Amino acid sequence: MSTITHDDKVFKALASPIRRHLLDALRDNPQTTGELCQRFDRLDRCTVMQHLRVLEDADLVIARRVGRQRWNYLNALPIKHIHDRWIGAYASDAVDLLDRMKTEIEKRPGKRKSLARAGSQSR
């Protein structure tokens, strides 16, 4: 028996190019479902709603009703949590490695000048 975690829902939601485009559309400002349907006119309203439901289930979109309109807001926190857990540690290791390489290169006499020359010759 498998248990679906919140991270699984976020990864599933982000796996679809259409859902990523919907999130991109919401990045700058919230939009109504009607506005999103107009923006993604290749898709019918039902399909847009299905994608929005998957995004809501992953907490990537928060929907609020105002009168007859349904406003959709981007919630970037689940993406930040994924970044912090899965990407941040690897990026930190890469930055540390680059720092160590730079320090080692700077310690070697004459290497810095030859590297600078090699860089200017390749231009």
6-75 sits in which CATH class? mainly alpha
Entry pTM: 0.71
The structural domains of the chain, with segments of one domain joined by +, span 6-75, 78-121
What number of CA atoms fall less than 13 Å from residue 9's CA on the CB side? 17
52, HSE (Cβ side, Cα atoms, 13 Å):
26
Written as tens digits, the pLDDT of the chain (123 aa) is 567 799 999 999 999 999 999 999 999 999 999 999 999 999 999 999 999 999 999 999 999 999 999 999 999 999 999 888 888 777 777 778 888 888 888 888 765 555 555 555 554
* Three-point CA angle 43, 80, 23, nearest 5°: 15
